[in-house]
Amino acid sequence: MKKSLLFLGAALLLTATGLSRAQVVNQNQKLRMAEAAISQFYVDTVNEAKLVEDAIRGMLEGLDPHSQYSNPEETRELNEPLTGNFSGIGISFNMNQDTLYVIQTVSGGPSERVGILAGDRIITVNDTVIAGVGMKNTQIMKRLRGPKGTDVDVKVLRMQQGKRDTIDFTITRADIPIYSVDAAYMVDPKTGYIRINRFAAETAHEMQTALKDLKSQGMDRLILDLVDNGGGYLNAAVDILGEFLNPGQLAVYTQGTNSSRQDLTTKPAESKPLFSDGRLVVMANQYSASASEITSGAIQDWDRGLVVGRRTFGKGLVQRPIPFPDGSMIRLTVAHYYTPSGRDIQKPYEKGDQKAYQEDILDRFNRGELMHQDSIKYIDSLKVATLRLKRPIYGGGGISPDKFVALDTTENTKYYRNVMAKGLINRFVINYVDENRNAIKSSYPTDTDFVRDFNVSPEMLSSLFALATKEGVELDEKEAELSTPLFSMVIKALIGRDIYDNATYYKVYNTHDPIFKEAYRLINSDEYKKLLPK
């Protein structure tokens, strides 16, 4: 492994810097001599593999905040959510009081085929007890996942007609898709909503499917939700932009000291883009990063739509993956992302100062930027204009919204945070659904009925507060009252997700979310037409 690292390092140095072979060899000799001296003469036993890994991590930490090393296991975990699938049993679950609780089975997946149901509790996997023993989620997932076509034996505890039964299942693992479109639904007869949680290998295809479905239902305006979306594959963002922009339009370009400018344009379309004309609003916040910023930035630059929310994260550095033979990898920053108008997405940073970079969001909060638009400092020298209407927009890191929405912390009291931190809302919902699943399904046959008519009762809230008191969270009546709308929304959203599907969660959540409410108001108002005239 060490020889491979050295040869690769030498090749990269020669290519990227133009150093002579002798200079590169001297630098590599210095590295080899240091590693050899430590391994041979250090006072204690040294793990040489860890020594090499620590050296690589140390070099990268002195560069920028996004150049990183990952060992083989970390690399697999990083890549899995983006590749689009893994092999497993096909369930989504929560841990409730140290027990795996099945929320949903993947439609047509291995668990559904053998009869696993929402509400089941998996208590053993291949004769290993996983319930009540303090096993970590990662350890449980390792037992449930495995090569496609292999079997896993599970014992399930199921509530049936008020009785507890245990049932044994043998599940044959299969490829399980990881979806990046969380929800796609019609808010009203004309307005569609799509939420994307990441930009992965199949995101563009999922997006196309969602757009076609919503258009068939009459959609002529779209709210695209990128709130909390940390990004992913660059190509996924460019492909998605191809459904909103004209064929061949610039989506983003990259450039670095050792990387010449590369323009990425939307592909020449074999057919017309799916949504190049209707009204478009993008939801974003301070955790929307990378590919989310490329998408929202291009839409804003071309005056294709409006961005609503708060200034995005400001992650505009391009990482090139450099894999090693053992499965480990370096993700090395090689360039900056620029929006079509020339804005550098990356926020400022000091090399080697990871702490300040990681605390940037907290600093924004403390400065009041998340609550007050007037606290956002725009730099005149970084002002540019949009490409069609010449509206003023600003660079300097992240994408600033066309319509600012303040972070409202009124309902997010300390009492609410303490209840959430102990996982008590999830536990309450799981128990409530256990006892009322059939009654809810009977009373609310569709999630439309549920979203419109189901209400969280005062008795339900009292039960939650009693559970919290029992678990050591002292009741603060004033704060509980302030947080009642938030408690009620989260409880209803989680019940809806457990009984119907993930989209139901967002149908409930969006009735409460200030960014969504502003996006919905704007897209259906005359103000939209004034801001973006044809």
Q: For residue range 413-453, list pLDDT tens digits in order.
A: 999 999 988 888 988 998 899 889 999 999 999 999 999 99
Q: 6 pLDDT band (50/70/90 cuts)?
A: very low
pLDDT of residue 12 exceeding 50 = no
Residue 314 phi, psi (nearest 5): 95, 45
Provide the whole-model pTM. Answer: 0.84
**Mean pLDDT for the chain overall:** 88
Q: 85 pLDDT band (50/70/90 cuts)?
A: low
What is the reported pLDDT for 226?
Answer: 97
What is the reported pLDDT for 241?
Answer: 97
Residue with tokens 């014992």: 155
What is the reported pLDDT for 273?
Answer: 93
What is the reported pLDDT for 4?
Answer: 44
What is the reported pLDDT for 91?
Answer: 87
Residue with tokens 């793990």: 47
pLDDT of residue 3 exceeding 80 = no
DSSP state of 373: G
pLDDT of residue 348 exceeding 80 = yes
Q: Which amino acid is at 44?
A: D
Residue 191 phi, psi (nearest 5): -105, 120
What is the reported pLDDT for 11?
Answer: 46
Beta-bridged to residue 262, according to DSSP, are 254
Tens-place pLDDT, residues 351-366: 877 778 878 888 888 9
pLDDT of residue 175 exceeding 90 = no
What is the reported pLDDT for 252?
Answer: 97
Query: What CATH number has the domain spanning 85-177?
Result: 2.30.42.10
Residue with tokens 């907290």: 362
Q: What is the DSSP string of 448-467?
A: HHHHHH----HHHHHHHHHH
Residue scoring higher pLDDT (10 or 21): 21
What is the reported pLDDT for 42?
Answer: 82
Tens-place pLDDT, residues 123-164: 999 989 988 888 877 788 888 888 888 999 999 988 765 677
Q: Rounded mean pLDDT of 7-22?
A: 47
- The Cα–Cα gap between 127 and 434 comes to 25
**Helices 458-470/424-443 angle, 10° precision:** 150
- The Cα–Cα gap between 168 and 421 comes to 34
pLDDT of residue 222 exceeding 70 = yes
pLDDT of residue 220 exceeding 80 = yes
What is the reported pLDDT for 194?
Answer: 98
Q: Rounded mean pLDDT of 173-187?
A: 90
What is residue 518's three-state secondary structure?
Answer: helix
Domain 181-320+335-407 has CATH 3.90.226.10: yes
Residue scoring higher pLDDT (389 or 201): 389
Q: 10 pLDDT band (50/70/90 cuts)?
A: very low
Show me where the domains of the chain are located.
Answer: 2-46, 85-177, 181-320+335-407, 414-500
Tens-place pLDDT, residues 34-82: 878 888 888 888 888 888 888 888 888 888 888 888 888 888 777 766 6
Q: Rounded mean pLDDT of 395-414?
A: 92
Contacts of 485 (CB under 8 A, 6+ apart): 411, 512
Residues involved in catalysis: 290, 301, 315
Best-predicted range by mean pLDDT among 211-220, 353-362, 387-396? Answer: 211-220
Best-predicted range by mean pLDDT among 310-314, 324-328, 361-365? Answer: 310-314
pLDDT of residue 288 exceeding 50 = yes
Where do the H-state alpha helices sit in 483-513?
Answer: 484-499, 502-509
Contacts of 530 (CB under 8 A, 6+ apart): none
What is the reported pLDDT for 20?
Answer: 54
pLDDT of residue 16 exceeding 70 = no
Beta-bridged to residue 160, according to DSSP, are 163
